[in-house]
Chain A
Amino acid sequence: MNKQLLLGDEAIAQGAIDGGLSGIYAYPGTPSTEIMEYIQGSKQAAELNIHRKWSANEKTAMEAAIGMSYAGKRAMVCFKHVGLNVAADAFINASITGVNGGLVVVSADDPSMHSSQNEQDSRFYAKFAMIPILEPSNQQEAYDMTYHAFELSEKLNVPVLLRITTRLAHSRADVQRKETKKQNGIKLPSNPRQFVLLPAIAKKNYKGLLQQQPAMEEESNKSTFNTFINGKNTDMGIITTGIAYNYLMENYPDRNCPYPVVKISQYPIPRKMVTELYNSCKSLLIIEEGYPIVEDAMKGFMNIGKPIHGRLDGTLPRDGELNPNIVAKALGLSFTEGQPVPDVVKNRPPSLCQGCSHRDVYADLNEAMKDYGTGRVLADIGCYTLGALPPFNAINSCVDMGASITMAKGAADAGLVPAVAVIGDSTFTHSGMTGLLDAVIENTPITIIISDNSTTGMTGGQDSSATGKIVQICQGIGVKPEHIRVITPLKKNHEDNVKVMKEELAYNGVSVIIPQRECIQTAARRKKMEKKQ
């Protein structure tokens, strides 16, 4: 088979297809989105009849994947790091149920927060759930690890976490494929109560998980993804995790690092290799992309052993993404920078597209809110979060998916009336609906704007579960029909739309305004496709 030029995300997707995948479940989130998109676009996946539809949120995705594993088939679930927070209940308990078909959870972290609210490190979750982690350092490893992960999951009877970061997710390199494995057939768990987490059964399963820990560590010790690289200078030993290895090696153009190195790409931490390194060196430098997890474990609370350097003692920055220069500094190597950025260069922050419907929504809303003053608009996560920036300065919060409605409710409960929520269509069906129910039950005086552009815009225009259903959903949840107002956000409708907003802001109960106009990016792509056909 020829080599293919693949993004890290795409390498994972292809590795899963070739590894015997039967279904992928996911909710879009940068930098994980391209995994599902690749499988959706793959002819091979279509021929193999692999299930490949977006889920309403990460929790439903995780649960569907557990269901497919229950039925004996290999399943993968993908999301960005904060998506794992949403899926956490199902994720943690999946380690207690164990698996039937192999189950791989891909969580894509975003150190430096290129497109995120935080830079949490998903490896903590795997430790919490007591399951193995695979953390590729390059695209080929991303492919190989995914290919291998389903068998590891089946062998150890736990889900396996595949942890990547933005840089690998969105970087291309050539990847050599392997033979495609056959999918599992349907096969129920041999123990019919394996997935019944009643306390009595859960206790037994949990003991089983604890007993499996040494086997997981042994897998790490003998894993070919973990390597001990000899070096002559034992003044210092180096541990790298995931792609940090590349930044280390970039500083030695002939790849000849003078220090011994343990390259960790499979966890639990390979105790034998790490112990050998510690015993043979005078000090350690730990280079990890993300939180100082290995470093913390190596130091321990007492920190009474040999000197251990890394992010915790300032040898490396405590936060943010690594790069070759940051690592060079930690190694005490010098490097030259080019010329400084000239003063004439200005910042160019992202902004809403010209012609975007959210622009009109904010123009309308800012006008309608004039009588009430600023500070009352709780918003959510999506393109419309850019309404926080000039020229709109229209929103006052962005915390987590769905938080606009519930925060508006809490603010109204506190007496901030009216409070306004701004949420997108996909975010609404992701996790806004349950919050709306809370508000409806108390008829809380909030005005909810569901800015419906019929797509998941920020991540590049994936299908939205909400499309064509929002009015019925709001009615079904119990919003009074006369307070569900659908408007068309266009300049020519500005005055009418402001009037609608003012009316609903004055209403002392739950109202929902739904400005509906298709995302201009999605519309342009759709028209192009229609023209082709």
Chain B
Amino acid sequence: MKNDIILAGVGGQGILSIAAAIGMASVNSNLHIKQAEVHGMSQRGGDVQSHLRISDQPIASDLIPAGKTDLIISVEPMEGLRYLPFLAPNGWLVTNTTPFNNIPDYPETDALMGEIKKVKNHVAIDADTIAKEAGSSRASNIVMLGAASLFLDIPFEKIEEGIKQLFGRKGEEIVELNLKALRAGREFSEKNKS
């Protein structure tokens, strides 16, 4: 198996927490992994991305070739579109619909949604609202992970395990909240994939 994933967002939005959870689940599943991150200047509110590659075979490049990405996970609606040249013809775009607006010419929501709907396989999810319902808006990235998990070749239990490992130190309550957020995201994708 092979899953090539691009995580997209804005510096400070915490896309690396999603990568860490998938990474943990992959290691627990004895899979090979490579994950390229952006550190430095762009982290100051610029666009950031992470290439995350999982495979049962050794992985060569840290970067995913154009047109080969199986899954783009975007924690805000504009950033996922930036990486469409990387998306495979049958790849999935899973995107949060809550904008992160820190530039003067940020596009209208309708225009963004129009472009997202043009992508053949997409899930558009209001992760912030679902996270709030699960107990904390801070869990929106975990909602996104849950929504994206449907398109990963990793057993869902392994991802739950990863969450437990990641948040274990913060106490039972935080673990439960994040598991709830994860499942809510997954459920949304099951109902709304189009």
Residues of chain B in range 60-106 having any CB-CB distance to chain A below 8 Å? 60-67, 69, 78-79, 81-82, 84-89, 91, 102-103, 105-106
Bound state CA distance, A114 and B42, in angstroms?
8
B81–A342 CB distance below 8 A = yes
Q: Identify which of B41, B46, B115 gathers the most chain A CB atoms within 10 Å of its CB.
A: B41
Chain A residue numbers with a CB within 8 Å of B34 are 171-173
B37–A170 CB distance below 8 A = yes
A353–B45 CB distance below 8 A = yes
A114–B84 CB distance below 8 A = no
Bound state CA distance, A249 and B35, in angstroms?
17
A173–B33 CB distance below 8 A = yes
Shortest C-beta distance, A475 to chain B (Å), equals 33
B36, B40, B43: the one within 8 Å of A167 (CB)? B36
A339–B37 CB distance below 8 A = no
B107 within 8 A of A: yes
A339–B85 CB distance below 8 A = yes
Q: Report the stretch among A272-280, A294-302, A321-329, A495-503 that lies at the interface.
A: A321-329
Chain B residue numbers with a CB within 8 Å of A114 are 38, 40-42
B39–A30 CB distance below 8 A = yes
Query: Considering only CB atoms, which chain A residue lies closest to B108 in the complex?
Result: A344
Given the interface pairs A255-B60, A338-B91, A351-B46, the reply to whether A328 lies near B65 with Cβ below 8 Å is: yes
A172–B45 CB distance below 8 A = no
A337 within 8 A of B: yes
B37–A30 CB distance below 8 A = no
Chain B residue numbers with a CB within 8 Å of A335 are 65-67
Please encode chain A, from 341 to 355, with 1 for each CB lying within 8 Å of some chain B CB and 0 for all others. 110111111111100
Chain A residue numbers with a CB within 8 Å of B39 are 30-31, 33-34, 115, 170, 460
A419 within 8 A of B: no
Chain A residue numbers with a CB within 8 Å of B60 are 246-247, 249-250, 255
A346–B78 CB distance below 8 A = yes
Interface size class of A (residues with CB under 8 A): 35 or more
Please encode chain B, from 176 to 190, with 1 for each CB lying within 8 Å of some chain A CB and 0 for all others. 000000000000000
Chain A residue numbers with a CB within 8 Å of B44 are 350-353, 383, 386, 458
Bound state CA distance, A323 and B51, in angstroms?
12
Chain B residue numbers with a CB within 8 Å of A336 are 66-67, 89
Q: DSSP majority for the A interface?
A: loop
Bound state CA distance, A350 and B112, in angstroms?
21
A68 within 8 A of B: no
Chain B residue numbers with a CB within 8 Å of A5 are 23-24, 27, 33
Interface size class of B (residues with CB under 8 A): 35 or more
A439 within 8 A of B: no
Chain A residue numbers with a CB within 8 Å of B67 are 335-338
Q: Identify which of B10, B43, B63, B119 gathers the most chain A CB atoms within 10 Å of its CB.
A: B63
A351–B85 CB distance below 8 A = no
Bound state CA distance, A154 and B91, in angstroms?
51
Given the interface pairs A325-B66, A338-B84, the reply to whether A247 lies near B102 with Cβ below 8 Å is: no
A340 within 8 A of B: yes
B85–A348 CB distance below 8 A = no
A243 within 8 A of B: yes
Query: Considering only CB atoms, which chain A residue lies closest to B63 in the complex?
Result: A323
Q: Identify which of B36, B60, B69, B118 gathers the most chain A CB atoms within 10 Å of its CB.
A: B60
Chain B residue numbers with a CB within 8 Å of A338 are 66-67, 69, 84-89, 91
Please encode chain A, from 226 to 262, with 1 for each CB lying within 8 Å of some chain B CB and 0 for all others. 0000000000000000010011011000010000000
B105–A346 CB distance below 8 A = yes
Chain A residue numbers with a CB within 8 Å of B1 are none
Bound state CA distance, A215 and B14, in angstroms?
49
Shortest C-beta distance, A349 to chain B (Å), equals 6
A344–B112 CB distance below 8 A = yes
Residues of chain A in range 69-87 having any CB-CB distance to chain B below 8 Å? none
A173–B40 CB distance below 8 A = no
Shortest C-beta distance, A22 to chain B (Å), equals 27
Chain A residue numbers with a CB within 8 Å of B46 are 348-351
Chain A residue numbers with a CB within 8 Å of B58 are 255
Chain A residue numbers with a CB within 8 Å of B37 are 7, 170-172
A351–B63 CB distance below 8 A = no
Bound state CA distance, A43 and B129, in angstroms?
40
Please report A residues at the B interface, Cβ cutoff 8 Å: 3, 5, 7, 30-31, 33-34, 114-115, 167-168, 170-174, 243, 246-247, 249-250, 255, 323-325, 328, 335-342, 344-353, 383, 386, 458-460
Apart from A339-B85, A344-B114, A348-B45, list 15 A-B contacts with CB within 8 A: A5-B24, A7-B37, A170-B39, A171-B36, A172-B36, A173-B33, A249-B60, A250-B60, A324-B65, A337-B67, A338-B84, A341-B81, A350-B11, A350-B41, A353-B45
Q: Which 3 A-B pairs have the closest CB atoms?
A: A115-B40, A30-B40, A350-B46
